[in-house]
Amino acid sequence: MDPTTGRAAAGRAPGGRAAAASGRSAEGAGLGSELTEFAPDLADSDFDLAVFDLDGTLVDTPRGIVETFLAAYGAMGEPGPAPDPAAVRATIGLPLERAWATLLGVPETDPRVAEGVRQYLKLFRELVLPRARELLFPGVPEGLAALRARGVTLAVATSKFYASADALLTAAGLRELFAVVVGADQVAHPKPHPESGLLVLERLGTPADRAVMVGDTTHDLLMARAAGMRSIAVTYGIHSRAELAGAEPTWVADTFDEVIEAVTGVASAAVNTVDAATAAAVVNAANAATAAAR
């Protein structure tokens, strides 16, 4: 059974509430449609598990990723001009091997793909990780802390390799908030295949109907639907609102506060009251608990 009960494009609801993908007719399918049949679901959407994409969802890394790709291409000494930045940006959300193969126009088994990945990973550590905390989207630390305070388990399913995702979350001061992080190199079939989402659900023992996926690309939303999870599309990342609507998300959020609202079913002003100091305390407590367990 498809748990996403909405079947059309999503819009923004009155009063800033994260909009549900509502409408079973052309009238309800517009990008500006209001909350209609999904209003009851919002009251019941206090999930046990929230699964997040990383790049473009929690961390504003797209520009840094483009810069890193271009620097890696230059380090490879490839003949000809570097890929267009727009072409590089279009590959964000894909596993590294697939992205490099696409940009170079070669099979993933080509040795230049492996070299591109190697150079990228090296330069990512140098160019992006030192900026991780400043690249967090507004409201992310406070919002994640608010979810933890409500007993929601947090996880990440990303197209990054696990080591890169782990390093980025650690550099951003968020790693210990997440019970599970699944990278593209830990599955045989990365997004939009459901394997990443299913692996998160399996590791945490959470039924799909008690989990929600949050992401900024159609890869995230299609993975969620195939895994039986509902989904929240964020419009501040890579894919446009129109592209996201084509993947039929359950909700659409324009800010991270609206993500928290959709996950909890409570207006963000009432939920996301965790200030920066409290958010830091939650992160520090998670770090201390992990350190004590080691």
* Residue positions annotated with a catalytic role: 53, 55
Q: Length of the chain in residues, anyone?
A: 294
Neighbours of 205 (CB within 10 A): 8
Backbone angles phi, psi at 188, to 5 degrees: -80, -30
CB of 35 within 8 A of CB of 17? yes
CB of 95 within 8 A of CB of 165? no
Token pair in block for residue 29: 């399918």
Q: Show Cβ contacts of residue 128 under 8 Å, excluding neighbours closer than 6 positions.
A: 61, 64, 65, 68, 135, 168
Closest CA to 90 of 237, 222, 196: 237
Instruction: Give per-residue burial for 94-120: e unless 16+ CB within 10 Å, then b.
Output: bbbbbbbbbbbeeebeeeebebbbebb
CA 173 from centre of chain: 17
Per DSSP, the three-state class of 136 is strand
CB of 252 within 8 A of CB of 261? no
Return the H-helix or E-strand segment holding 148: helix 140-149
Measured distance CA(35)–CA(271) in Å, rounded: 20
Per DSSP, the three-state class of 134 is helix
Backbone angles phi, psi at 60, to 5 degrees: -85, 70
